[in-house]
């Protein structure tokens, strides 16, 4: 399947089962709306995680073969009704669940051999294992099982079971533990939620998996046909960034290249081969853990799914801390290959610095990496035999990030010792004659056609400038260049109406072209550091140009492509399109509405709820399954309706 970065992506997935009909059902849309309404930043978090995942997949399309299996510490929080003691499941039932996870994620489950020949080439050992935590967040001994009684019979899907203030149990540190809550989820006996999980990118206060006590493990209260522990296998797949195999849409996209296209979820135990009704009628992978079949009929992950899960556990991934958690070790027990300790920096000059560290037990040599703090690429030195290293060829007056890990016999430390230093003799400071201009009211006037130099001095500094168009010229070009850190720029008509933005990655130059300005109008420019980026040594350059002729748009092809924005104009591009379209909605205030696609006959093709903030809002839509022809894109709010026509071209 073609990989697509979605602007709007599911925050958490919830899975329901009807005990009478013995089928799984899903309540995703309502949960998605609730999560996004409560915390809209989740969307941005998940976009960043997906970018990191795609970069990992580009370098490791089949994942990594681990020299050391990743072991994830698990803590079970059992919350039971004091009047229904059967909800307080046994230690043995919990251990049976751990056993199933270790079999399923290592492809050692007995039914793995049932994998059809057509899928045997992609069936994967994920190389992830699970343990009951042996030490708690305070370093004290634990069984990995936390119990609490309550007067509540069922908990629903509002995450209240995860909050001690509501009678549940607060999670342990999500960067070191997989939190699993056991409770009765649903009140109904005919529409039962088996469990639910939170994707990477959500709040740490609710991170983890919730399982109904009747669908946990293989013994005790476990109820057929979901009594083989596969509900947890499925949910933890979501927790490790896997989508449903059918992509939660008819012939949808699960962002995995080696899973066949499914037309919908499967239930029960479909007879093999079960053909999809999607293009090409492929054989569906009904035995995949991310389908909705019964526990006895799901028994494999794929190589592509393995790679996605490894991406969030890899260095820089959203769950990388779990790879270095010591919670599987009893108090006082040391890991076999620890990271170095006592990191320090000496002999610092304008072009060199020496890093020093202490040797841990079992160290043979070391791998060290360093880079300027604004850079994305590390300089890697390995092997380093001693416990110090002199770095040369450094830039003067520059902050550097540094990390070092231990190499032992056949393994490496799962984590680094991290540090930072600054080379001496900083460059002559660039004068900033515009502070303080941190608000639009305090905006400093600039001269059109003259380059100014200014600085982002702190992580919270924002620079505002203003200029007036007193001529009949109608075209502006804003150029932000010579960036010492990751800065972005926005253009406003007045102080509130955003009409342009440029958000390239890193220190790439920024440019806004706006070919529709008004005469005798004051425009404002905002420059800011992304994620608190700043540099109090070096200036950026800002140039405003106004012309009677249209400026050409940049040919930038980065993900944050510069777009010509007209205030209050609803844009859809490209047209003609083949696989995906981008919808651009600039708003003067927050709006919530319905984004819909209709064909030329007026048939509704797709529809979804969208909430946009003040400024530029973009949504990427998959149209790869649409027939060639003319379509209408509508965005409807309580105030008005925006519409644009678009052509889907024939595909070759």
The residues annotated with a catalytic role in the active site are: 235
CA-to-CA distance for 238 and 46, rounded, in angstroms? 13
Residues 531 and 445: their CA atoms lie apart, in Å, by: 26
SS3 labels along 273-311? CCECCCCCCCECCCCECCCCCCHHHCCEEEHHHHHHHHH
Q: What token pair was written down for 426?
A: 């900083």
Q: Which of 313, 321, 317, 331 is nearest to 415 (CA)?
A: 321
> Which of 391, 468, 465, 398 has its CA nearest to residue 426?
398
Enter the DSSP assignment of 21: T
Within 8 A by CB and 6+ apart from 650, the residues are 628
Q: What DSSP state is assigned to residue 604?
A: E
SS3 of 235, please? helix
Residue whose token pair is 């008004």: 518
Distance CA 102, CA 87 (A): 24
Task: Enter the tokens of residue 617.
Answer: 């809002």
Please give the Cα distance from 526 to 645 (Å, whole number). Answer: 33
Question: Is omega for the bond preceding 329 within 30 degrees of 0, making it cis?
Answer: no
Helix (H) or strand (E) holding 46: helix 41-59
Output the CA–CA distances (angstroms, integers) from residue 75 to 94, 124, 146, 207, 419, in the order listed: 10, 26, 7, 12, 31
Task: At 115, list the tokens.
Answer: 């994998």
Give me the half-sphere count of Cα atoms (radius 13 Å) on the Cβ side of residue 57: 22
Helix (H) or strand (E) holding 545: strand 540-547
The CB density around residue 357, as the number of other CB atoms within 10 Å, is 23
- β-bridge partners, 406: 366
CA–CA gap between residue 388 and residue 58 (Å, rounded)? 34
Rounded to the nearest 10 degrees, the angle between the axes of helix 91-104 and helix 230-239 is 60
Instruction: Please count the other Cβ atoms lying within 10 Å of the Cβ belonging to residue 645.
Output: 11
Closest CA to 536 of 485, 587, 572: 485
Residue 395's CB is within 10 A of a number of other CB atoms, namely 12
Beta bridge partners of 135: 141
615 touches 501 (CB < 8 A): yes
CB of 87 closer than 8 Å to CB of 81: yes
The radius of gyration of the chain from alpha carbons, rounded to an integer in Å, stands at 28
The H or E element spanning position 98 is helix 91-104
Which of 562, 565, 479 is closest to 515 using CA atoms?
Answer: 565
DSSP annotation string for 425-462: SPPPPPP--S-S--SSTTPEE--TTS-EEE---STT-E
Q: How far, rounded to the nearest angstrom, does the alpha carbon of residue 526 sit from its chain's CA centroid?
A: 27
């Amino acid at each position: 399947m073609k990989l697509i970065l979605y602007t709007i992506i599911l925050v958490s997935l919830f899975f329901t089962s009807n005990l009478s009909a013995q089928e799984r059902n899903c309540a995703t849309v309502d949960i998605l709306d609730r999560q996004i309404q409560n915390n809209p930043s989740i969307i941005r978090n998940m976009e960043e995680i997906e970018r990191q995942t795609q970069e990992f997949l580009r370098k490791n399309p089949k994942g990594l073969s681990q020299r050391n299996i990743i072991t994830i510490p698990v803590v079970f929080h059992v919350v039971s009704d004091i009047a229904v003691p059967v909800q307080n499941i046994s230690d043995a039932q919990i251990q049976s669940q751990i056993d199933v996870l270790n079999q399923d994620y290592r492809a050692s489950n007995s039914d793995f051999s049932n994998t059809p020949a057509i899928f045997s080439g992609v069936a994967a050992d994920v190389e992830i294992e699970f343990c009951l935590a042996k030490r708690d967040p305070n370093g004290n001994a634990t069984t990995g099982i936390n119990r609490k009684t309550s007067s509540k019979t069922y908990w629903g899907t509002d995450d209240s079971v995860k909050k001690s203030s509501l009678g549940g149990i607060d999670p342990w540190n999500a960067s070191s533990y997989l939190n699993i809550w056991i409770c009765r989820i649903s009140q109904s006996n005919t529409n039962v939620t088996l469990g639910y999980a939170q994707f990477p990118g959500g709040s740490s206060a609710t991170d983890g998996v919730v399982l109904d006590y009747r669908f946990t493990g293989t013994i005790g209260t476990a109820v057929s046909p979901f009594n083989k522990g596969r509900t947890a296998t499925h949910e933890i797949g979501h927790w490790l960034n896997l989508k449903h195999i059918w992509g939660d849409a008819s012939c949808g996209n699960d962002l995995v290249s080696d899973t066949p296209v499914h037309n919908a979820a499967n239930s029960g135990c479909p007879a093999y081969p079960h053909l999809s009704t999607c293009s090409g009628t492929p054989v569906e992978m009904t035995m995949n853990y991310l389908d909705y079949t019964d526990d006895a009929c799901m028994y494999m992950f794929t190589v592509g799914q393995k790679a996605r899960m490894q991406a969030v556990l890899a260095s820089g991934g959203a769950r990388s801390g779990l790879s270095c958690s010591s919670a599987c070790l009893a108090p006082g027990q040391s890991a076999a290959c620890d990271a170095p300790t006592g990191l320090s920096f000496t002999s610092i000059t304008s072009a060199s610095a020496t890093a020093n560290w202490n040797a841990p037990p079992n160290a043979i040599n070391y791998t060290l990496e360093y880079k300027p703090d604004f850079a994305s690429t590390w300089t890697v030195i390995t092997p380093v035999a001693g416990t110090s290293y002199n770095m040369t060829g450094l830039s003067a007056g520059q902050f550097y990030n540094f990390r070092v890990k231990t190499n032992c016999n056949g393994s490496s430390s799962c984590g680094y010792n991290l540090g930072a230093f600054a080379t001496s003799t900083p460059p002559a400071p660039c004068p900033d004659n515009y502070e303080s201009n941190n608000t639009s009211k305090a905006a400093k006037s600039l001269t059109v056609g003259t380059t100014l130099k200014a600085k982002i001095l702190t992580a919270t500094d924002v620079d505002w400038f203003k200029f007036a168009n007193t001529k009949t010229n109608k075209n502006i070009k804003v150029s932000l260049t010579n960036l010492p850190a990751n800065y972005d720029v926005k253009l406003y008509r007045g102080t509130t109406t955003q009409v342009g933005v440029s958000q390239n990655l890193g220190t790439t130059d920024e440019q806004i072209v706006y070919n529709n300005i008004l005469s005798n109008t004051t425009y404002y420019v905002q420059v800011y550091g992304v994620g608190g980026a700043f540099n109090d040594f070096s200036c950026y350059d800002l140039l405003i140009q106004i012309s009677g002729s249209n400026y050409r748009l940049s040919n930038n092809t980065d993900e944050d492509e510069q777009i010509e924005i007209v205030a209050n104009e609803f844009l859809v591009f490209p047209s003609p399109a083949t696989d995906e379209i981008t919808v651009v909605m600039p708003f003067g205030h927050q709006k919530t509405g319905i984004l819909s696609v209709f064909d030329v006959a007026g048939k509704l093709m797709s529809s979804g709820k969208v909430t946009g903030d003040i400024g530029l809002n973009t949504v990427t839509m998959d149209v790869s399954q649409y027939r060639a022809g003319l379509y209408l894109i509508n965005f409807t709010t309580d105030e008005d309706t925006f519409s644009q026509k678009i052509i889907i071209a024939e595909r070759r």
